[in-house]
Structure 1
Amino acid sequence: MHTFHSIARHGALVSRRSALAWGVAALGAPALALAQGEGRPLRMILPVSAGSGADGAMRAISNSLAKALGQPVVIENLPGAGGITGTAQIVRAPRDGSVIGVVSNNHVVNPAVYRNIPFDSLADITPITVVGTTPFVLVAHPSVPARTVQELVAYAKAHPGVLNYGSSGNGTILHLGAAMFVDQAGLDIRHIPYRGMGPLMNDILGGQVQLGVVAVAPAAGHIKSGALRALGVTSAARVASLPQVPTIAEQGLPGYELDGWIAAIGPAGLPRAEVYRIYQGFQRALQMPEARDALVAQGYVIRLPPPEEAAAFFRSETARMAQAVKSANVKMD
């Protein structure tokens, strides 16, 4: 499975040097736009629940982004329907740069799992940039008699239908991540959908749900305390913040690979000057040590490709996730 990293290697995303060069070339346009945006709040819609990976990331850098843009940044969580509820508000927002959204993988998964979406996931948005990527981790409640992926697979095969896994909702990237694992390992494990990452984490910690694929950042503290057991990370390589946790791929499922990402978007038709202004705001914000360090501490690798490359990434990821959904046979329950 191709990841964000392999797409970058094959040219769908430019290097940081190219991105910065692109930003310098566009510096003439944003001066007027910056004056237009200064002072008024920037409403940032997050189609996820509070406590999710994307929510934590944006709250960690919002003060720096406000400084970089010269305007307050107001975050609004609008979770539901795998991100469709909040994204519907983003695509209907004024096309003046007063409202943006930050979406995750769910945005490109949804077209493959929902029959009726009230917008076109590609045509009705303006990609601004991909802020960063992050791996996920397969976790278990300590009551599950497994400490590795191999032990989990052996136990699940000996006890079909006994285990369950939770997700942040039907058809979400966390659902897809777990379903891909179950499918590739040939297991019989029941799915329990939640309304967002926060409620899911609460019930895994409480033992009401036994397994889940979750973002590294909100899980890391619980893993270190022993409240959750990390069985494997979903990325191609081990994660710096959890160096002792092997990848799922190196534990007998070599084809398994999945990274999360978050991206800034606006409604379709957002003026280029506003796109440049906001894109460069993210660039300046993430050059500030407090924002950069906060995002890295949450397990993100900072990306920031320019808008044209972000648009290419959205197109390629939409096609890739459609194939993954088909292969894992993910359907709305």
Structure 2
Amino acid sequence: MPSTPTHSRRRALAWGATALAAPGLALAQLGDKPLRIILPLSAGSGADGAIRAISTSLAKALGQPVVIENLPGAGGITGTTQLVRAPKDGSVIGVVSNNHVVNPSVYKNIPFDSIEDITPITIIGATPFVLVAHPGVPAKNVKELIALAKAKPGVLNYGSSGNGTILHLGAAMFVEQAQLDIKHIPYKGMGPLMNDILGGQVQLGVVAVAPAAAHIKAGTLRALGVSTAARVPSLPDVPTIAEQGLPRYELDGWIAAVAPAGIPKAEVARLHAGFKNALAMPEARDALIAQGYEIKLSAPEASTAFMRSELARMAQVVKNAHVTMD
């Protein structure tokens, strides 16, 4: 049946509002209903940059508009609460990060189950972290930092993007495994943390490699060790924390696409195929890598198993590091 002017205008407005489609993609190929992606993190965060970097390709792969909605708050709990209550028809998904499996161990009351109330679609990618110091700290590597901290217990401090965040746990893991006495100073986000490490108001921090790399190369930050099992290509001369005497240390910042629990299996398969096809496109792959991520595409079942294992691992990290909410 021919489209009415009102119907055509509605489709055009819905598509135009997202501004995410590849130029020239015919509207006739697209569904009327956009895919709504809830991001329980603030605009400008690493996960936000990553999903926006691949959104055009994702819209093309799925054949429908994509709308991204930031719903930050309470370490991701605010947005995820909306996600788990969303329609279970494949029209709403979310992109979550490590905090999704950390929160059950650091918050007393969460209005959902981090595993049972979601359906993982895929792990999208992961980004490495790096332990950095202000250049005024007289330590050039992890071994020197450990020696300095043990010689001056309680004198050094480290900042984080907030109490209970993955950057807090990254630093707390280091302090716990090295058995150090270093004070924690929580900030409200990555931006304020980076500004104060650069300014010398805080001495140490575990931060994402991508936003820190330029400062490291400029000498305004000193990289002491990367958090991953292998060295990072963008910082090839920086050894891992593990190879500097803490062999159990390994951490990265992953992001995953998830849907509400109860979504039909056909929709899970469709959405997974959408991400798979999008990340096969050079423009999406290159854009994600430019954001500092390594692509980690995984099947829904493997994604579920991974998130369960991370939930257990982070619970032990929180317990060992004695992390509590303020």
TM-score, scaled to structure 2: 0.86
The residue that corresponds to 2:12 in the other structure is none
Matched, 1:117 2:110: yes
Matched, 1:320 2:275: no
d(CA) in 2 for partners of 1:247 and 1:253? 9
Change (3 A) 1:143 1:37: farther
After TM superposition, the structure 1 = structure 2 runs for residues 1-333 of structure 1, keeping only pairs within 5 Å, are: 38-333=31-326
d(CA) in 2 for partners of 1:195 and 1:183? 23
d(CA) in 2 for partners of 1:99 and 1:198? 29
Gaps of 5+ in 1: 1-34
Report the residue type matching 1:91 in the other structure.
Answer: V
Aligned-partner SS, 1:155: helix
* Greater radius of gyration (CA): 2
Change (3 A) 1:197 1:75: farther
Q: CA deviation at 1:54?
A: 1.3
Gaps of 5+ in 2: 1-27
The residue that corresponds to 1:13 in the other structure is none
d(CA) in 2 for partners of 1:83 and 1:195? 13
Q: How many residues align?
A: 299
Report the residue type matching 1:309 in the other structure.
Answer: A
Report the residue type matching 1:169 in the other structure.
Answer: G
Change (3 A) 1:222 1:303: same
Cα deviations by residue, 1:208-264 (Å, 9 ceiling, x for unpaired): 322111111222222222222111001111011110110011112122111221100
Change (3 A) 1:72 1:194: farther
Cα deviations by residue, 1:59-111 (Å, 9 ceiling, x for unpaired): 21111111112222222222222221221121122222222111111111111
Q: CA deviation at 1:38?
A: 2.0
d(CA) in 1 for partners of 2:111 and 2:169? 22
Aligned-partner SS, 1:274: helix
Q: CA deviation at 1:37?
A: 7.2
Cα RMSD, aligned residues only: 1.9
Cα deviations by residue, 1:251-289 (Å, 9 ceiling, x for unpaired): 121221112211001111122222222111111110110
Following superposition, which runs of at least 4 residues in structure 1 exceed 6 angstroms of deviation? none
Report the residue type matching 2:188 in the other structure.
Answer: R
Aligned-partner SS, 1:290: helix
Larger RCO (CA within 8 A; separation ≥ 6): 1
Taking only the aligned residue pairs, the percentage that are identical comes to 79
